[in-house]
Structure 1
Amino acid sequence: MNRLVAGCGLVCAFWLALPGVCAAQLMVEGLPRWGFDGKVRVGRFNLLTVEVFNSSDRPWQGNPKLEAATGFGGGDIPVIQQGLYVEPYGRRRLQFLVFTPRVTDYRLSWGRREGEQFLIDEPASTMRLAEVQFAESNPLLSSLADMPRFDDADFPPSAAGLETLAVVNLDHVPGWNDAQNRAFLDWLSAGGTLHLYQGSGGTNPAFRGTLSVLNEPSDNFPIGAGQVVRHAAGIQTAEVPEKEAAESNNRYRMWEPTRSSLELLKMMTQPDHNWGVIYLMTIAYLLLIFPGCWLLGRKKGDYRITYGAILGIVLLFSVGFRTVGARGYGENTSVHSVALAQPASGNRALLTQWSSLFVTGGGEYEIKHQTEGTVYSSGQLDERIPGFVLNRPVSLMMTDIASFSARTFIQAGVLSSLPLAPKILKFEQEEGNGSLKSLQLKSLELEFADDSLWKDDGLFRGVVLAGDRIYVLQPQGNSLVAATGGQSLKEVINQSDWTVGRYAFSNQTRTPPQLFESLRGPLIAYDLNLGSDEDVDSFVLPRGQAKAYLYVRLPDNARLEGDRFTQQSGRMLYVLPIREQ
């Protein structure tokens, strides 16, 4: 901990000393690229790739900083790329995962002098997840004019936060390292779709090592929750996604799952003040100030005694009010979290987590998790957060928090172990009038190794989504069996139960279990990429597919690290995609 704080201090000291580093000149080359297709998805982590060039004959070393350029008072928390080294006339590609509550400009800076910053213009945005072609760095052949292209060399070394990528078209073996291979397999296993095409010589790509599982000769085969489709043709025959229609002007009720989740988590720390004592102290304070000090001044006739008495009363009651107020919060630092987990390769899982850290003692706090490839954000642009985030691979957040206040934040990472995957014993659907909207779940049974997932857990909830209806999963021994009937997706999400804003539930008192129950709605909406009433009204899963949602205790390896955070509580919504065998 001491070495880490010292290291962070050196980062800040080096940053302040940057103007003294002479000769080497860094500059941004080309245009920074957002996401995989040049667009961002609001309310998600979005990839940002920036190439920098050292235009001098001397090496450049420093700590570039990325922050939102929203003007005074706003801007999330800065992200620092620690220890960047660029040789003379060399290039480096920087990558950040930026949570974007709304579209805005960003600024990359590497010093305080003129010319040592670059303004990244406000990006285009869309709700649709990305469908792209992975291309080699200098492709002369096999490219699609109407499909967004992404340089496969820029694929990140971790799948954390890559939820905005839905479909990849590929006709060659990328020259990735082991970390990139594992990240791609994690992304695919979590529900991605990969289309494999023949290369320029008419042969199928032959993968090695971790990706050798993609050599399966079948035309269509699953990889975890993802799907691989093999085509006996070149990539020029790929189906180009339709151009996106203009957004409807009737999206009158845009949802904000992240904002709502963070507000609900903050409400879990509810003070139980002794208002009787506070009122008596207030009356006593006012009476001592006046007429008490006034009478004292008249009797003693010395203004120094009067001023000293006033100062003493103010100090005494300041300590008293602080002590009584502290007891209203239980005098405990606490962390409340809720997470969304998707299965990755092996027993790993991709995790997105929302947290509220309430502290009773003000100061600087280190926020760090065990997850791999972790990224952090405060999840908002309304307030500039004191502190900084160190970009991957260091992956931590340092922030100053005032006494008896909460800091909310979002974190995405990869859990190294989450062995929850059950065996699917039965999955059947039946149709009504032949349309997807009439599709009903006939039966579903999931078998687990034991019943520890729900045993002695009063908050456990299990449901499954099929078509556009949600069915309760009922424990039966070591299995979960879907009940008949079901409810509409809109009823279960119950957006009015977790919305925030002028007409929200801010004046209602809820217990932590009730608040955790309300948090299921925004998590499901986030997973299904639902942003409005219109989205949920038109949503339906394809025939032969379902999604089970298991609401369980937050596992220990997803909790905040550190001896200062002994009181933590949280829930995790585990997403289990199901396909007809």
Structure 2
Amino acid sequence: MKWLFVLLVFVAANEKVAEAIEIHDIRWGFNDRPTAYHINPVTLLIENPDSEPFEGEIQFHQESFRGQQIDIALSTRTYVAPFEKKWVQYYPYFSDFNGNWVVSWDQNDIRHSQSFLAPRPVTEKSIIQLVTPGSLNSVTSGVKSFPEDLYPSVTGATDALQEIILDHLPKWEKTRREAFMDWIYSGGILHLFFDSNGDPLSFPDSYRLLNQQTSPAFYGKGVIYFHQHKLTDLSPAELRQVINTDKHYSVTPTREIENQVTGTDVAYPSKYENIFYKNTDEELLATLTEISKPQQIWYLIFLLSFIYLIIVGPVYYLITKYSEHYRTFYLVYGLSTLLFCFIFLFVGRYSTNQTSQIHSLIVADILPNHKTIISEWSSLGIVSGGNFQITHTGESHIYSTCQTYSKVNGISTSGKNGHLQVDIPPNSFRTFFHRARISKSLLDVNLVSFLANETGLEALSLDLGKEFPRSVEQVHFVFGSKIYELQIERNQLIYSGKSRRLYPLLTENPLFDTSYIRTNRLLPFVRPTDKKQEFTLEQFFPILVRTSLKVPPDSINQNINWPDHRGKLLVIAKIPESLFPETPNIFKKEGLILYSFDIPLSEHGG
């Protein structure tokens, strides 16, 4: 027995014990702090200390300080070779408070997890310098270095990024290059400096716009500045001065730059600033919920309940009092109970809308490379309930449920095959936010004539191309400080003479109309004060325009002015079938889409 014991100890000592993967670093956003009310990249450095490769699903989700999950779990499947390290990236939605985040995975039939406390989100977007891996020294105070190999490859993951400083050619694959150019087109500000040899940067054809060397160059809502300096030749103060020069060309000027232009140190915050800032994806999704959630006929249910109480009370009493046989009572009792069970089952199931339905809002930014960036807010109402996989057409996806206070049962994955796997209870709904890039241009027009004077637009005509949406509701053109209404005439868009100032439109906020969601105070459980809301254009038009223009709250004031080197065509229409979810099967689909198309009006146009 002694020798057997020694043998068992020897075998146990030499038995290989698999080691769990380890997380060595976590990067929050671009600036080590996420930006509130935006999708932010969160990047984890994972090491596999074992001699066997790790291949599996790693989930990332937020928890309350009591250990309860918040929002949906983000998931990605990855492979880490033995004794290697790998960066893994997620794209969560952050509100204005920090929280505890948990990374969890299964390995060797054991559930592992590790917790991280996120830093408090900031309100400002990030300004970074892109550097090669390993060169992480900051070039100036207030500017963070960000490794180029961690730059997100998914369109929509860079909404929290405002400006990039670059002095070399990044070594990127196609998806990352496209995400970078999409970021510029969506309003990014890029500063290009000479390389380490003092020569201008020379980009390949995929970046041909960056070789213009005419500063500033415009690409969509974005701006590219070509600086005739080496970064190493500039002090921090000089660099700040250089990157702030002529910033008034930008579509979205910052408050600091506005003060420099006006020659004063006084800030000009809009009185609507707090309202705009908190007019977030969460509130937009909550408004859609009021439209798409199943509506029960409560007065009928309460009437049936009252009748049932009368039967089980006075009627049963009279039957027991005057019936000669006790069997009569049991027969009436059994039949009436069974009857009302079927009645309540029928009313509960069929008093609501019996078809699954979705209500969506979409902003579609048309890119010059015949692609489109989609931003979608949707509420999916389901009667039957179950576990559903929500998918869309496209080549790059980000999904989020934007629920910062409650748990959502399901997982969200991003990338080319991104989808939302979510549990929806019977007679319930699920709201979600979706960003995507699709390889198709959904709108095509050509500028025929344009005439403007000191007061604004005087004449405008645009030829309609083959790709022009059907079921058009309204067409508008943003130029200067006004938004102009266009009419469709003989395959052309013509300025009809109607216009309104841009500022009042941007200050409208229909989501804060309390009568829209206020319930009846006397009988709040019966029905809302108003009838069920319809999906109207007037209700969401200001929000769609503000989202498309991407005007920050601190730039909304009486003097707001769209750059005169370009105009923006806004087409409001019904959402085409191809942009609704491919799965699940949805019977009733309703929604509005705003097509946003930038039109160059001068030699500065991109």
Residue 428 of structure 2 corresponds to: 405
1:508 to 526, 530, 539: 530
Query: In the TM superposition, what is the alpha-carbon distance from 1:361 to its structure 2 partner?
Result: 0.5
Displacement of 1:497 in angstroms is 2.2
Secondary structure of 1:267's counterpart equals helix
CA positional deviation for 1:518: 1.1
Q: Would you say 1:180 and 2:193 are equivalent positions?
A: no
Change (3 A) 1:176 1:252: closer
**Aligned in 2, Cα 1:258/1:27: closer, same or farther, shift over 3 Å?**
same
1:463 matches 2:476 = yes
Give the residue type in structure 1 aligned to 2:116. Answer: L
Among 427, 433, 458, the alignment partner of 1:442 is: 458
Query: In structure 1, what is the Cα distance between the partners aligned to 2:62 and 2:466?
Result: 47
Alignment of 1:332 onto 2:355: yes
SS at match of 2:544: helix
Mapped partners of 1:332, 1:376: distance in 2:
24
**Residue 394 (structure 2) aligns with:** 371
2:307 maps to 284
What is the alpha-carbon distance in structure 2 between the residues aligned to residue 104 and residue 416 of structure 1?
Answer: 36
Equivalent position SS for 1:523: helix
Q: Which moved more, 1:103-112 or 1:361-370?
A: 103-112
State how far apart, in whole Å, the 1-side matches of 2:559 and 2:196 are.
40
For the 8 Å contact 1:24–1:60, the answer to whether it is kept is no
- Asked if 2 retains the 8 angstrom alpha-carbon contact of 1:52 and 1:93, the reply is yes
Task: Give the corresponding residue for 1:492.
Answer: 505
Amino acid at match of 2:460: L
| Matching residue's letter, 1:491 | P
Task: Tell me which of 180, 195, 201 is aligned to 1:205.
Answer: 201
Give yes or no for contact 2:22–2:47 (8 Å, CA) kept in 1: yes
The aligned residue for residue 171 of structure 1 is 167
Q: 2:489 maps to which residue?
A: 476
1:120 is aligned to: 117
Deviates more, 1:479-488 or 1:378-387: 479-488
Given that 2:255 and 2:267 are in contact with CA atoms closer than 8 Å, whether structure 1 keeps it comes out as no
Letter in 2 for 1:460: E
Contact 1:471 1:487 in 2 (8 A): yes
Separation in structure 1 between the aligned mates of residue 58 and residue 103 of structure 2, nearest angstrom? 6
- CA distance change for structure 1 residues 315 and 132 in 2, over 3 Å: closer, same or farther? farther
Task: Give secondary structure in 2 for the equivalent of 1:263.
Answer: helix
The residue type equivalent to 1:27 in the other structure is: E
Could you tell me which amino acid in structure 2 is paired with residue 179 of structure 1? T
Look at both structures and tell me which one has the larger radius of gyration over its CA atoms: 2
* Aligned match of 2:87: 93
C-alpha distance after superposition, 1:418-451 (max 9, x if no partner):
231322234444436xxxxxxx333433322269
Q: Deviations over 1:440-484 (max 9, x none)?
A: 333433322269535xx3x61222233333222222222223344
TM norm structure 1: 0.82
After superposition, the Cα gap between the structure-2 partners of 1:276 and 1:190, relative to the gap in structure 1 and judged at 3 Å, is closer
- Aligned counterparts of 1:234 and 1:142: Cα–Cα separation in 2: 15
* Residue identity opposite 1:570 in structure 2: G
Specify whether residues 287 and 564 from structure 1 end up closer, same or farther in structure 2 by C-alpha distance, changes over 3 A only. same
- Give the superposition deviation at 1:234: 1.8
Tell whether the 8 Å contact from 2:293 to 2:428 is kept in structure 1 after alignment: no
- 1:524, 1:349 → 2: CA distance? 17
CA offsets, 1:42-83, max 9 Å, x none?
A: 32222222222234444333322111223466611111112x
1:509 maps to a residue whose letter is K
1:75 is paired with a residue whose SS is strand
426 and 50 in structure 1: CA distance in 2 versus 1, 3 angstrom threshold: farther
* 528, 535, 541: which one aligns with 1:520: 541
Question: Shift of the alpha carbon at 1:340?
Answer: 1.1
Aligned to 1:259: 282
Corresponding position: 1:381 with 2:414: no
The residue type paired with residue 119 of structure 1 is F
Q: Which runs of 5+ in 1 are unaligned?
A: 1-20, 433-439
- Shift in Å, 1:136: 1.0
Tell which deviates more after alignment, 243-252 or 128-137: 243-252
Paired with 2:548 and 2:467, the residues of 1 have a C-alpha distance of 26
Identical counterparts, % of pairs: 21
| Unmatched segments (≥5 aa) in structure 2 | 1-15, 245-253, 257-265, 520-528
Match in the other structure for 2:5: none
**Counterparts of 1:11-410 in structure 2 under 5 Å?**
23-30=18-25, 32-71=26-65, 75-82=70-77, 84-111=78-105, 116-126=113-123, 128-139=124-135, 143-223=139-219, 226-236=222-232, 237=234, 238=239, 239-240=242-243, 251=273, 253=275, 254-269=277-292, 278=301, 280-296=303-319, 313=336, 316-410=339-433
Deviations 1:349-371 (A, max 9, x none): 11110111111101111111112
Distance 1:137 1:399, change over 3 A: same
Distance between the aligned counterparts of 2:327 and 2:225, measured in 1?
Answer: 87
1:451 and 1:388 map into 2 onto residues whose CA distance is 35
CA shift, 1:231, in A, is 2.8
C-alpha change, 1:246 and 1:289, in structure 2 (3 Å) is farther
Residue 453, structure 1, aligned to residue 469, structure 2: yes
Which deviates more from structure 2 when the two are superposed, residues 68-77 or residues 266-275?
266-275
In 2, Cα distance between the equivalents of 1:529 and 1:23? 50
Deviations 1:382-432 (A, max 9, x none): 221112223434311111112222111111111221231322234444436
> Residue 281 of structure 1 aligns to a residue in which SS?
helix
- 1:188 match: secondary structure: helix
SS in 2 for 1:40: coil
1:96 Cα deviation (Å)?
Answer: 1.2
The alpha-carbon deviation at position 530 of structure 1 amounts to: 5.2
Cα drift, residue 137 of structure 1: 1.2
Aligned residues: 547
Contact 1:225 1:343 in 2 (8 A): no
Question: 1:533, CA displacement in angstroms?
Answer: 9.0
Cα offset, 1:577, TM superposition: 2.7
Q: CA RMSD in A?
A: 3.7
Give me the whole-angstrom Cα distance separating, in 1, the residues matched to 2:22 and 2:323: 72
How far apart, in 2, do the equivalents of 1:138 and 1:256 lie?
A: 39
One-letter code of the match for 2:444?
A
One-letter amino acid of the counterpart of residue 358, structure 2: V
What displacement does 1:550 show? Answer: 1.4
Asked if residue 542 in structure 1 is aligned to residue 563 in structure 2, the reply is yes
Change (3 A) 1:301 1:142: same
* TM-score normalised over the length of structure 2: 0.79
Letter in 1 for 2:481: D
Please give the alpha-carbon distance, in whole angstroms, between the structure 1 residues aligned to 2:380 and 2:398. 17
Q: 1:118 to 1:295 in 2, by over 3 A?
A: same
Q: Does the 8 Å contact 1:111/1:117 carry over to 2?
A: no
Contact 1:33 1:49 in 2 (8 A): yes
Q: Is the 8 A contact 1:76 1:385 kept in 2?
A: yes
Quick one: distance in 2 between partners of 1:451 and 1:344?
Answer: 13
User: Can you list the C-alpha shifts for 1:103-162, whole angstroms capped at 9, x where unaligned?
Assistant: 322413224889731213233312x43332211112389944442222111122222342
